[in-house]
Amino acid sequence: MELARGGSLASRCRCLGWTALRPLLLELLDALAHAHARGIIHLDLKPANVLFCSDFDDRPGIKVSDFGIARRSMAEPGAGVLGGTPDYMSPEQQQGRVWDFGPWTDLFALGRLAIALLRHDVLDGSHADAVPRGFSDWIARMLHPRPMHRFPTAADAVASLDKLPVGSHSDIAEPDWPEPTSRQWPSITASAVFTADAPGDDSAGEISDGQAPEVFLPPPFPPCWQGASFHSSQPSLPSHSLSMFGLRAIPMMGRRVEHDFLWEELGKVVSGGARTVVLRGPAGSGKTRLAMWLAERAQELGVAFAMKANHDAVLGPQDGLEAMVLRFWGGTHVPCPRRTTGFLERLAQR
């Protein structure tokens, strides 16, 4: 493993103001987006598991560590061992509702982590580097007890956070947040909450305080797939064991034209059109890798979710469109047959 000489975020709890917290949250969201797009849910995000690599380390910056209890978001319900740190666990995690696990589960933990890092005088508005108005709404959405009312992806949380002022602001918020050590989840007073109709949950969209939630809008589609956080090449790790080599995906080379074309076609889909793209080539030419790249990058940026259908010569229980829908919902909610059938009918009409 890499050596992180800067220690962990645990030593920085109750030490940060807004100008230091904002870029840190954006870096953590970028890291979570990378993991979530590859189907990995961390499930134990907390200050002690965020490490700092100094300028003297091989790769300076923050690192999310300890994926010991991480699981695939599309794993079968009941698979794996449940665990976590209670102060940072979401309601679905504490209650063992594995079918509700998803990116929003880690986002709940990140909301708790943000509160744990802020100074007391920043929270009550008595400090010059106080959080801006609107941050309390952002935290409220991150900490909503119901998964379908949180941000669906890390990219959605980034898009909302980017709307807040970069530096300190005189128009401070006056949030009423619980201490990070409290096991009680906050009541929701934010004016905007995620309201997508969750599969199999006919009560989605209702809030206990009777407020009418606003419609949630996804991030805008970026014309360039690279983005600010994209790195064309990964820095080498010459001083580390070669046994780690298999854990890093081999980068694709010379595929810029294909990347640009696929991203342009996805943009047409996002704008409201339906497109069919067939990747042709001999075995081993990278057709599957290109499709995986498009699915992962689209989810990283929050512009689309990918659904994978298998069509083998001999049909099995994992083949076909119905199995595709069930796999997609397997990491979020258990869909009822009526909703699954309705979804497939609408898909066929397209």
- Is 26 in contact with 119 (CB distance < 8 Å)? no
The CB density around residue 210, as the number of other CB atoms within 10 Å, is: 6
pLDDT at 48: 93
Mean pLDDT by 10 residues, the chain (350 residues): 81 86 93 90 93 82 86 57 83 86 93 89 66 88 91 92 72 40 35 29 35 57 72 50 59 85 91 88 89 90 86 84 75 49 57
Name the pTM for this structure: 0.76
Residues 6 or more apart whose CB falls under 8 angstroms from that of 261 comprise none
Distance CA 88, CA 44 (A): 7
Q: Provide the CA 234 distance to its chain's centre, in angstroms.
A: 22
Distance CA 279, CA 300 (A): 22
pLDDT at 128: 64
Domain boundary among 95, 126, 161: 161
- Domain assignment of residue 45, yes or no: yes
- Domain assignment of residue 211, yes or no: no
- Choose, from 30, 44, 137, 201, the residue flagged as catalytic: 44
- Domain assignment of residue 239, yes or no: no
Over residues 161-191, the pLDDT tens digits come to 998 887 654 343 434 444 443 333 333 333 3
How many independent structural domains does the chain possess? 3
Q: Which of 341, 276, 267 minimizes the C-alpha distance to 304?
A: 267
pLDDT at 244: 54
Provide the CATH number for the domain around residue 154: 1.10.510.10
pLDDT at 230: 45
How much of the chain is in helix, strand and coil states, percent to nearest 5?
A: 40, 5, 55
pLDDT at 344: 57
Q: How many CA atoms lie within 13 A of 74 on its CB side?
A: 15
pLDDT at 58: 76
Residues paired with 64 in a beta bridge: 50
pLDDT at 44: 93
- Domain assignment of residue 213, yes or no: no
Q: How many CA atoms lie within 13 A of 221 on its CB side?
A: 14
Q: Provide the CA 347 distance to its chain's centre, in angstroms.
A: 26
Give yes or no: residues 29 and 136 share one domain.
yes
Domain boundary among 143, 161, 179: 161
Give yes or no: residues 262 and 327 share one domain.
no
Containing H/E element for 217?
none
Dihedral (C-alpha) 226, 227, 232, 235: value to the nearest 10 degrees? -160
Domain boundary among 161, 180, 201: 161
Residues 6 or more apart whose CB falls under 8 angstroms from that of 14 comprise 116, 117, 118, 119, 120
pLDDT at 110: 96
DSSP 233: S
Alpha helices in the chain (DSSP H): 18-37, 91-94, 103-117, 120-123, 135-142, 154-161, 256-270, 287-300, 321-330, 337-349
Give yes or no: residues 79 and 150 share one domain.
yes
- Domain assignment of residue 130, yes or no: yes
pLDDT at 284: 86
Boundaries of domain holding 43: 9-161
Give yes or no: residues 138 and 102 share one domain.
yes
- Is 302 in contact with 153 (CB distance < 8 Å)? yes
- Domain assignment of residue 13, yes or no: yes
Q: Is 129 a catalytic residue?
A: no
- Domain assignment of residue 264, yes or no: yes
Residue 177 Ramachandran class (φ > 0 left, ψ -120 to 50 alpha, else beta): beta
- Domain assignment of residue 110, yes or no: yes
